[in-house]
Amino acid sequence: MLGVAAFQRIGGIRETEPIPRFREILLQRGTRGTTDEIAVITMRGLISSSLPGSVTDSMVDDMRAALQQARDDDRVKAIVLEVDSPGGEVTASDAIYSALVKARARKPVVIYMDSLAASGGYYVSCGGKFLMASETTITGSIGVIIQTLNYEQLFNKVGLASVVFKSGKFKDMLNGARPITPEERQLVQSFIMKTYDKFLGIVAKERNLPADQLRNTIADGRILSGKDAFDSKLIDGLGEFEDAFAKAKQLGCLDKPIQRSSSNFRSSSFHSWKRDVPISCRAITRRRYRDACDPTASSRHSEPSQTLL
């Protein structure tokens, strides 16, 4: 399993299972002889440990492996993470956020929020050094939710009844065949608020904003446009992907002048933009801009009762 060193004993010797590596695609070539690179990693779709990865058991482990691959490569001077996600599971979002923080400790990480980087998508994005979005990006949605269905009345109409044997009074507390009790409601709400406080604390710390101010204003679950997020100091800049790439060059190569990309950057400068793979795998595709630091380079829907961001 990726991200976790797997050992097996063979004659008393431990052998470490090698971490799978992602195939790298050259998108922009620099001048001959320059080895500096910027790694571009994409994260698209629902954030969930139950979604299969392309080289590991889950998309979460894939993301952690891709970030580690970029982090440990001395040729990579900066990382761009392109996020297009509505969020997902709390633990999965936190795991990718933590991997980003580790990568950020070694080299600059620029986050580009595409069409959607809300809830868990924003949680993950907080791990970057510089956050950028377009004015029309949908982001925010800082909050936590658990939802389930109550089908008691439907059961009554068709003559069905749920029979439950349980070891404790809370074991079936989200059972949709009966009303939720006040004790159960209080317990679930307490769990939600504790998880929310962790999310809020990360936003407050990473964005250097008072938690109480956030709690009483924009951190109430509302969505925000990229422009609103910038005005609220949830992100650092507005722009397109080219601008995020230019920022990564600036942060990764402080001693060299920065050449801004041309208007046809996306269409004509790349050898390849997307891999022909299933959407769950494309979400973690790793792509590179080789020699990007050279100054002469040319230009939610989940199962009920899941805890979600």
Active-site residue among 54, 58, 119, 141? 119
In which residue are the tokens 């504790």 written?
194
Cα dihedral sign, 260-266-270-275: positive
Q: Identify whether 119 is a catalytic site residue.
A: yes
CA distances from 251 to 80, 210, 234, 245, 290 (A): 11, 27, 20, 10, 16
- Give residues with Cβ within 8 angstroms of 94, minimum separation 6: 123, 198
Distance, C-alpha 224 to centroid of its chain: 17
Q: 17: which DSSP letter?
A: P
Q: Identify whether 262 is a catalytic site residue.
A: no
Of the candidates 304, 306, 292, 308, which has an alpha carbon nearest to the alpha carbon of residue 70? 292
CB 132 within 8 A of CB 235: yes
Exposed / middle / buried, residue 184 (Cβ in 10 Å: 0-12, 13-18, 19+):
middle
Active-site residue among 166, 169, 171, 233? 171
**H, E, C per residue of 259-304:** CCCCCCHHHHCCCCCCCCCCHHHHCCCEEEEECCCCCCCCCCCCCC
Strands 76-85 and 109-118: parallel
Which residue type occupies 242? E
| Residues designated as active site | 119, 171
